[in-house]
Each structure stands twice: as C-alpha cells, then as structure tokens.
Structure 1
Amino acid sequence: MTLYAELKVARCTFQLDLNLTVEPGEVVALLGPNGAGKTTALRAIAGLLPITGGRIHLDDQIWDEPPRVFRSADRRPIGVVFQDYLLFHHLSALENVAFGLRARGTGKRAARAEASKWLETVGLGDQARSRPRALSGGQAQRVALVRALATSPDLLLLDEPLAALDASTTVHVRAELGQHLSRYGGRTLLVTHDPLDAMVLADRLVIVENGRVVQEGAPTEIARRPRTDYVAQLVGLNLYRGVADGTTVRLDTGGSLTIASPAAGNVYVAFPPSAISLYPDRPSGTPRNTWPMQVAGIEQHAHTVRVRLTPHNSQAPATLLADITTAAVADLHLTPGQLLHATLKATEIQTYPT
C-alpha cells in the first residue's frame, strides 16, 4: 500500500511539480528552504488545496485527479499535526484528542475512553483535564500528535512539528517523537526546513527547491553526497562542480583541485570545512591543494569558528569555508581582508558523478 502524489500546482508566479511516494511504516521528510513548495505540497495532499494537474492516490483510492475527482480533507484517512498544533483552547486535552474520533462517528463515552488511553501512552494521563494554555510546548505537541493518531489514519502529515518549541525542549521532544513514529505502522510525511529534524526522524529525504525535487535518498547518502549548494550548506560541506581529468578537477567557478583517486568527466567534489588548514605564510612541504586566500568573514559556528575565504589568484576555488578553533583564530590574528594560505589534503575530498 503506497501513497503516490504527482503534484502540479500553479498559483500566480509559483509552480510546484513534484512526484512523491510514501510506503507503509516509512517516514519521508520533505525538506527545503522557505518558499520551496513544501507547505503547498502538504496542503494539496491533505485536501486543503486542489491540484491543477497530476494525481494523488492511496493505492486504488484516488484523492485528487483534476478535473474528474476531488476528495475533500474530511474524506481522506489522514491525521495532521500543524506547526502551531491548532488545539482547541476551549477544550481539555482529553476532549481535543477525542474530537477527531467524535467527528468520525465514535460515541462520546467510547471516544473519551480511547482518548484517555492515547494520553496515557504519551505520559499525559494526569493532564487530561488541562486546557492547552496550561500545557508546556512539549505537552501541547504530544496532545496534537495523539489527536492525529487516535483516528488510526493511513497517512500522518507533520507540518514543522517542532518549530514552535524552544531549543531546550526540542531535543527531548524530537527523540520522543521519533519513538512514536517508529511504532506507527502508517505512512508519515514530515515537512520541515530543519535538517536535524529531517536527519533524525526520516527514513528518506526529498529535497525541494523552487517547486522541484533536486535530490532524494537516505539521510546518510544526502549528507555524504549533496547535489546543490543548499543541500551542501545544510550538511556543512564545501561543494563544487567541475570536470575531472585524472587527479585534477577543473572547477566550473574557476580554479582547480587535486584529488586522490583518478576520475573522468563531470563530477561533484565535496569536503568538510574542518579539512581546511590555514597558515599566515605558504607552508613548506605543502599539500598539492594550497591556495592564497583572503578572509571575507568570521563567525562563531557551534564550538568552532567558521572562516569564509575568497580567492587571491585564479587557481583557487571561488569561495571556501574553513572551521578552525578559537585558539587558531588568536594565533593567526584573523581579521577581515587578511591574506593567508589555505591547504586541503587530497584524501579529504569526496568525488562523485554529477
């Protein structure tokens, strides 16, 4: 049983063209920058936005196929957790969870009993009578999740489910959400712009930019072999395109790299910023990849300092990111505009076909 969505949505100047499948028991993350079309896709699959072309179906159930078929949201076996949860503030946590069951014809007493069981499963049995304003962000997120799951949906849609949480809560709730999703036998589509949410929660990533899929695969594959600058930035790699001839890659943006293993044809080359070493003068016994560079920017990045470098001659890459320690910043007396040398070992570079 597979959810298949071939989406074509045209709105003003924006067009979304997306092929997407989600298998039972699978968590698929739709990841992309703001304005990429993620929420448009979710709304179309949820039945909140008709598509203008293509088809959405769950096995032999057609949900949307213009102009012949459109199944409204209340007739689709889905559960949705919105970014702001959208709990009913005048109802208790118990009544919020029971709402979906009641809407689908379950009697009041049976719906409350089932809702109580769901709240117990997420450790909120003692909050059954609490209203949303009395709940913490993490508790509200769990109520919204079990409200969506209580109706036994075939498809669970998560729209930025952790975005409303503060940083101190997010780590715990993300792990908790992952445990619940691992027990859910249906299909899950997670829409997010947070790469950590996607990497931790999803079995497969679908990267969307400008309304198109630009890369798809397992999180480890995406992290190792990005194919766009956006994805490279997400996973923290320097990424270039070029033409390989033996152990030399001529970069499309200018400059060249020496790689360890010979290659041929159009390739991507990628390496982490931590692979770059910086020196005030050209070091002796230098690696093949040594370039004069100029410091364009310095910023704190997690527990290191990220240095953005621009080339000082035509043989260097167009831009370069280096991660160094705070002590190294002090030793080098780094300032914007400073000239120094960057080195990169050929063995640190990944090369793969475009």
Structure 2
Amino acid sequence: MTLHADLRVARGVFRLDAELVVEPGEVVAVLGPNGAGKSTALRALAGLLPLTGGHIRLGDEVWDAPPDAFRPAERRPIGVVFQDYLLFAHLSALENVAFGLRARGVPRAVAREEAARWLDRVGLAAHARAKPRTLSGGQAQRVALARALATEPELLLLDEPLAALDAATRLHVRAELGRHLRDYPGHTLLVTHDPLDAMVLADRLVVLEHGEVVQQGTPTEVARRPRTDYVADLVGLNLYRGTARGTSVALDGGGEFTVAAPATGPVHVVFPPTAVSLHPDRPTGSPRNAWRVTVAGIEQHAHTTRVRLDGVPPVLADITTATVADLRLQPGAGLWAAVKATEVHAYPS
C-alpha cells in the first residue's frame, strides 16, 4: 500500500500545501529551514492536527479528508519517535516498550514478552529493568525506536530522532538506526534539519520552504542539482541563476561564467567551495573563470578555512590554513577568485 498525503493546513497566516508519497519500505526525509512546515506535516500525518484541505490515504484507507473524514491519532497505525524520546520516567525500559501494546489491548504477559524481544533486537536486553534516567542518549533513542516499532505500525514518524545526541554518539546511533530502517517493511517519514542524517538514512528527500515543496529526489540528485539557496547551503555548494548561451552563462545578479558543457536558456550554475582558488593577482593558465573579490568573513572549519567573499558574484571558498597564511587573509582584503570551467556545472532551472 502506498501512503498518499496531500497536506493542506492553514494556521493563522501560515499555509502548508505539500504532497508526499511514501512507498512500503521507503524512507522519505523532509528537510527545510525553521518555519518551513516540517513539524506541521508530521503532526498532520500523526493525527494531531486535522487538515483544512487535501487528504491522507494509506492504500484505500482514508485517514483525513475534510470535511467528511478524520481518523484520530489513536486509530492510526503509526509509531512516533520524538526528538527528546518522551520515555515515561517512572517505567522501566521494558515497560516503556510494552506501553503501546498494552494501550492497544494486548495482555500484559504477551506485551512484556514482545517488548523483551524488541529490546533484544536493538541490543538492550540487559537494560530491560533500567529506568530512562540511567540510560545514555543512544540507549534512550533505541528504547524509543523499539517502543514505536513494537506495535508493527504501517507508518513510522521520526521527529529529529538524533538531535539530542552528542557528535560521537550520533555517528554510531545513526548507523544502527539505518540498519533498523532497512529491516522495517512499512513507510518511514523522517523530519530533520541535518543534511547528513537525511543523506545517510533516506531513500528520497523532500525539501520544504514556506510551506511548499521546492525540491525532491534521491539524495544524490538533490546534492548534485540544488534548486534553491537553502538547498545549496545545505549541501555545501555555490549556487547561481543565469541564462546560458553555449558555454557562456550570464548570471542574473551580474557577472558571467564559462562552463565546459554548452547549454541554452535559464539555468542553475553550481560548484563546490573547494573548487575556488584565491590569488593576489589575476591568474593565468588553463581556461578558468576569474573575478575580483573582497574578503567578507573567515571561518575555521575542522581542517579547512571557509572564506566568504563579496564580488560579482559573491562566493564561498574552502582553502587550507597554509593558504590563509600565504595570502595573509583578513576582512576587507582584495583578491582574485578563480574556478576552472570544468568545475562549473549548469543545468536547466
């Protein structure tokens, strides 16, 4: 059964108008900036927020279709893992996992047996009697996941499931979560602001901005061909819009790029910050794009330095610390930015 959701929600001045389709066994990640509508979409699917238009259907079952039909949260076959997990502090890990089953009328002994099986499946059999306060962040996340999956839901909703974890724990738990999602036969919707979580865990990405879907596709498709500034920033690319004539692209904001592959008409132009080199004088040599820039900001990123440069066009460059020292970079310094034509990719807008 396919999950079809035409989500139309009006809340004050905000409007959500987004269509989501999730196939069995598929993980769809919804990304977007704050206020884009991610939480509204999740709450609507969970039955916590009625639609004002559109519909939600799982196969032939209608969950919401105003004004005629609305199935409340407790009657929807869903499991939810919240950002802070919302484990019951007074219950053990075993009792937390058994809670959803007991709420559905499963006898206590059967529910506890099934909960124990799920705790073993997520590697926490030895912590069955532990209270949430004694668990690590990663352990609490796994208990919450086991509780959500124990009821065998048709739809699993993950609301920023890794956000509460520190960086070291997050890497391990992300890999474990990915393994469990691959084994889950139902429909999964992951709401996140973290591009790495989305790229690693999801089969398909849906990007929301201002309540609307602005881009969707596989992680590779979205990463290679961003269509908005938010998506470009998310995947770490410089993005421009312009009009192509052959191998020349006139940018909408001024400036011009030479590209390796000819194109015609409105295009997006992208290249990574690592493709940008900085020089005190205009560079010469292989075919390249070069233009004057001014250093607007310098940020240290792990093993590289990100330089924000004003110019026509403005650009982000990732360079080594040694290059920073060689160029004696400081805000306000004038330089030349250069990008080889072979590093610049144009695609229809």
TM exceeds 0.5? Answer: yes
Aligned residue number for residue 291 of structure 2: 291
| Residue 253 (structure 1) shift | 0.8
Aligned residue number for residue 73 of structure 2: 73
In 2, the alpha carbon distance for the partners of 1:186 and 1:261 equals 42
Kindly provide the CA deviation profile for residues 176-226 of structure 1, in whole angstroms up to 9, marking residues without a partner as x.
000000000000000000000000000000000010000000000100000
State which of 328, 335, 338 in structure 1 corresponds to 2:333: 338
Aligned residue number for residue 43 of structure 1: 43
| Residue 126 (structure 1) shift | 0.7
TM-score normalised by L of structure 2: 0.99
| Residue 47 (structure 1) shift | 0.2
| Residue 19 (structure 1) shift | 0.4
5+ long unaligned stretches in structure 1:
none
Instruction: Give, as a single letter, the amino acid of the residue that structure 2 aligns with 1:128.
Output: A
5+ long unaligned stretches in structure 2:
none
Q: Secondary structure at the match of 2:94?
A: helix
Matched-pair contact (CA < 8 Å) for 1:286–1:343: no
Q: Which consecutive segments of 4 or more residues in structure 1 shift more than 6 A?
A: none
Aligned residue number for residue 95 of structure 1: 95
In 2, the alpha carbon distance for the partners of 1:284 and 1:152 equals 63
Instruction: Give, as a single letter, the amino acid of the residue that structure 1 aligns with 2:345.
Output: Q
Q: Percent identity?
A: 72
Kindly provide the CA deviation profile for residues 304-350 of structure 1, in whole angstroms up to 9, marking residues without a partner as x.
10111111xxxx31x10110000000000000000011111000011
Q: Do structure 1's residue 114 and structure 2's residue 109 form an aligned pair?
A: no
Matched-pair contact (CA < 8 Å) for 1:270–1:349: yes
Q: Do structure 1's residue 323 and structure 2's residue 334 form an aligned pair?
A: no
Aligned residue number for residue 352 of structure 1: 347
Aligned residue number for residue 241 of structure 1: 241
Aligned residue number for residue 19 of structure 1: 19
TM-score normalised by L of structure 1: 0.97
| Within-5 A mapping of 1:40-189 | 40-189=40-189
| Residue 168 (structure 1) shift | 1.4
Q: Secondary structure at the match of 2:342?
A: helix
Kindly provide the CA deviation profile for residues 48-69 of structure 1, in whole angstroms up to 9, marking residues without a partner as x.
0001000001011100111111
In 2, the alpha carbon distance for the partners of 1:283 and 1:132 equals 60
Aligned residue number for residue 260 of structure 1: 260
In 2, the alpha carbon distance for the partners of 1:248 and 1:282 equals 20
In 2, the alpha carbon distance for the partners of 1:71 and 1:352 equals 43
| Residue 162 (structure 1) shift | 0.4
Matched-pair contact (CA < 8 Å) for 2:85–2:140: yes
In 2, the alpha carbon distance for the partners of 1:287 and 1:331 equals 24
Give the length in aligned residue pairs: 349
